[in-house]
Amino acid sequence: RERNLVKFLRFGIYLTAFVPLIIFKDFISPFHFGKVLVFRSLIEVLGAGYLVLILKDRAYLPRIDKVFWAFFLFVLAFSLTTLTSVLRYPSFWGSLERMGGLWTFWHYFLFFIILTSVFTKKEHWQRLFDLTIFVGVLSAFYGFGQKTDIDFFVGSGGRERIFGTIGNAALFSGYQLFIVFLSLIMYLQFKVSGTFFAAKKVPDTFRRTAYLFAFAATSIAVLMTAVRGSVLGYAVGLTVFAFLWMRHKKSRIERTVFNVLISSAVLFIIFSSLFNGSSFVKNSRYLSRITNLSLTSITVQTRFWAWQAGLKGWSESSKTILLGWGPENFNIPFSKHFNPNFFVGSGSETLFDRAHNMFVEILVTMGIIGFLAYINIFIALLSSLRKLLKNNDFAIYGAGLISAIIAYMIHNSFIFDTSANFIVFFTIAGFISYLSVFTEEKGSTLEDKGRTLNPALINLITAFLIIFIPILVYKTNILPAKANYATTRAIVRGWAGDFNGALAKYKEALSYDVPGKYEYRHRFAQYLVGGGGPSSKEKVVREAYEYAITEVEKNIKENSIDYLPYLYASRLNIILGKDDPESSYNDKALDLSMKALELSPTFIRTHYEVAQAYLNKRNYSKAIEFFQKVVDLNPEVGMSYWYLGAAKIESGDLSGIKEMEKALIVKNAYGPSEQDYLKLINIYLKNKDLARIITTYESLVLNYPKNPQNYASLATAYANMGRIDDAVAMARKAVQVDPSFEPDARAFIQSLGREY
């Protein structure tokens, strides 16, 4: 009779299939954080149960085959490169947003071990696949719901590109790719033979219909993400499957399907080449994106720039070539070799914590050792599946899973893995390992039948685990959850203008001292330095700034080669020292920003911070020097010209107006605020340049049409130029925007000799 403990473990594995549906909507990183915490907690409990099981019954020791060895060697490489990492803490714990790191990856490997040890019958796999497909379809329909305005769906509101329960269109499409091929395999398995998976209680006809529906729904979901790398993986995967299945079946239908897929691919390429610039395509954002095959598109270029930066960092030394910079540390070489073209103005994406290519990511962060171990995983999987193609009973799995893995590899050439993808990937890898039992490679176990543990010792270990596992779950999962939630409460209170409440919650979050503290400290700093943050003039707020500086300095100490904490600390000091040129805060800000510049010499925002510190000190020549360096780094950024011109104007050099004007016409033009426009106008007033005053006011009312004073000022400028009709029209426009302007507008129009 099967042990109840085995049934418990198997039930726990079934529960992992539901993890991709988990969303912690009131947490930072709501689509990843909760998934990983729940998964880790579940695996920690199952891991304890599994340890007790193998102590009692050696038959459940891990089965050792080439797939096991491939994952084991990668885990060893992951562990080694974490030990040699330039920053071990993030390598071990991962970042708050992605929740990766060695600690979490150990859980995936333990999941694989438990899965392959307790799933001993085909019925177990069928049930797990059914649950996995069911959850994938639910996630797809959640994505469809994001096209509506229903509040239940996080991210709803007519979203152009859906992301389901995964939180990112590219990550979602990668997860759905697995479900697409699993559904297709199961549909054809029951349609063709039904010999391996027994239908038992559910008729084969119903199952085929359900699997076909799942295949259609998840295929639509992949296409609706408009992620070109995933769509390419989908198309290539289906084509490979059709080719392999055609060779196996040798029938006219399979050959026809293969020919149709090839023809469709050719027609799509022709259509994209001929009509990508047509009005029909341009009027559809989806078609514009999906048919853009140009290697010069901004998305493709940013990927290339990120890969180039990473590879430059990888080739820096024999140590980085062999062992990389350490898992989760791609941002370090990326920043060191930052391409200034990333920065095009406010809101630019200038921090890549991942390479958006798993192969480049592994090479840069884990070196050749990790890269070879990673490649070996796919070699082991594909070589195991290749043998299935020669077996009529298992050819469908060989063809289907080879295609799925190829699609996954293509997809991963443009993005990275997260929890949902990993869970399904390890599930499929476990099934491939299981199928090897039915081939000549039976595998082996670590079983040693000559030794058994004393039952009393087993009971003692069990008692220890009952105490230890809850503590482990609390320390590594529950406490981080409390810190995360406290941070989001701080953010919400900050939005509501409750400074004291926000400060209290930030302090609570930081008091836990758990993984994620790096991000929590920076969130606190963002709150203070952001445009909507509190004024630093009040004493209680200045004390909060001092506290934030102390916390960010901890990030500097723990991550000394990361430029970002230096910039946050510099900005906090700049704000505290902005009203006093002699303030020591300005000197400290300058020291911090110069250190950041050493770590990332071409990072444009760092030059801005250096220049701002010099502006605080009224050292205009040095500020202008650093703003000029920024212009030289990327001459197509309007913001840099604007800052350069403004610094010159502030120094008394009115020629700075030329840079400010150029800022409005370069490729990445600067979008001035109302105050920026007024600064321009004041300069033109000094130069008595009425023509430019008028054109600037015209731009001002065009960009800020709700301010009646702008129309009134333009009316006055028109009048000074003798354009009376235009002046009257603008005065009336001011009244339309704000009726309280009517008395002044009436008097103004009458002064021009016109009737109101």
CA-to-CA distance for 426 and 74, rounded, in angstroms? 13
Neighbour count for residue 474 (Cβ, 10 Å): 13
CA-to-CA distance for 99 and 523, rounded, in angstroms? 17
Residue holding tokens 């007033």?
685
Identify the CA nearest to 331 among candidates 304, 313, 317: 313
Copy the structure tokens of residue 54: 């193998």
Q: What is the pLDDT of residue 450?
A: 47
Looking at residue 64, what DSSP letter applies?
E
Q: What is the pLDDT of residue 346?
A: 83
**Backbone CA torsion sign across 393, 397, 400, 403:** negative
Neighbour count for residue 547 (Cβ, 10 Å): 16
Characterize 228-238 residue by residue with b for buried, 16 or more Cβ atoms within 10 angstroms of its Cβ, and e for exposed.
Answer: bbbbbbbbbbb
Neighbour count for residue 286 (Cβ, 10 Å): 13
CA-to-CA distance for 430 and 460, rounded, in angstroms? 31
CA-to-CA distance for 171 and 165, rounded, in angstroms? 10
Helices marked H in 193-251 — which ranges?
204-225, 228-249
Given a contact cutoff of 8 angstroms between Cβ atoms, the answer to whether 329 and 85 are in contact is yes
CA-to-CA distance for 623 and 500, rounded, in angstroms? 36
CA-to-CA distance for 324 and 319, rounded, in angstroms? 7
Question: What is the distance, to the nearest Å, from the Cα of residue 577 to the centroid of all Cα atoms in its chain?
Answer: 35
Q: Per residue in 555-604, pLDDT tens?
A: 999 999 999 999 999 999 999 999 899 999 999 999 999 999 999 999 99
Q: What is the pLDDT of residue 513?
A: 93
pLDDT under 70: residue ranges of the chain: 1-2, 191-203, 250-251, 254, 258, 271-275, 277, 280-284, 287, 293-296, 438-452, 531-533
In which element (H, E) is residue 444 found? Answer: strand 444-445
Residue holding tokens 């050493």?
598
CA-to-CA distance for 544 and 502, rounded, in angstroms? 11
How many residues are present in the chain? 756
Residue holding tokens 């590109």?
161
Cα dihedral 592→598→599→603 (10° resolution): 90
Residue holding tokens 């321009």?
680
DSSP bridge pairs for 668:
637
Question: What is the distance, to the nearest Å, from the Cα of residue 465 to the centroid of all Cα atoms in its chain?
Answer: 36
CA-to-CA distance for 315 and 311, rounded, in angstroms? 6
Identify the CA nearest to 364 among candidates 404, 334, 408: 334
In which element (H, E) is residue 750 found? Answer: helix 742-751
Question: What is the distance, to the nearest Å, from the Cα of residue 149 to the centroid of all Cα atoms in its chain?
Answer: 24
CB-based contacts of 652, cutoff 8 Å, min separation 6: none
Tell me the Cα Rg of the chain: 31
Q: How far apart are the first and last CA of the chain?
A: 99
Q: What is the pLDDT of residue 439?
A: 59
Q: What global pTM score does this model have?
A: 0.91
Given a contact cutoff of 8 angstroms between Cβ atoms, the answer to whether 616 and 586 are in contact is yes
Copy the structure tokens of residue 78: 């992951």
Q: What is the pLDDT of residue 388?
A: 87
Q: What is the pLDDT of residue 191?
A: 63
Question: What is the distance, to the nearest Å, from the Cα of residue 89 to the centroid of all Cα atoms in its chain?
Answer: 20
What SS3 string covers 110-132?
HHHHHHHHHCCCHHHHHHHHHHH
CA-to-CA distance for 696 and 503, rounded, in angstroms? 42
CB-based contacts of 738, cutoff 8 Å, min separation 6: 708
Q: What is the pLDDT of residue 194?
A: 46
> ∠77-83-89 over CA atoms, to 5°?
115
Identify the CA nearest to 174 among candidates 20, 303, 68, 394: 20
Q: What is the pLDDT of residue 1?
A: 47
Copy the structure tokens of residue 641: 């010209």
Identify the CA nearest to 623 among candidates 644, 603, 642: 644
Given a contact cutoff of 8 angstroms between Cβ atoms, the answer to whether 238 and 229 are in contact is no
CB-based contacts of 168, cutoff 8 Å, min separation 6: 31
> ∠592-597-598 over CA atoms, to 5°?
100
Copy the structure tokens of residue 511: 């008091």
Helices marked H in 324-394 — which ranges?
331-336, 358-388
CB-based contacts of 25, cutoff 8 Å, min separation 6: 154
Copy the structure tokens of residue 540: 């209680």
Residue holding tokens 């200045």?
542
Helix, coil or strand: residue 63:
strand
Q: What is the pLDDT of residue 201?
A: 57
Where do the DSSP E strands lie in 232-370? none
Q: What is the pLDDT of residue 690?
A: 86
Identify the CA nearest to 46 among candidates 13, 3, 72: 13
DSSP bridge pairs for 444:
64
**Backbone CA torsion sign across 64, 67, 69, 72:** negative
List Cα–Cα distances, 649 to 634, 658, 686, in angstroms: 22, 10, 12
Question: What is the distance, to the nearest Å, from the Cα of residue 658 to the centroid of all Cα atoms in its chain?
Answer: 39
Identify the CA nearest to 579 among candidates 534, 618, 619: 618
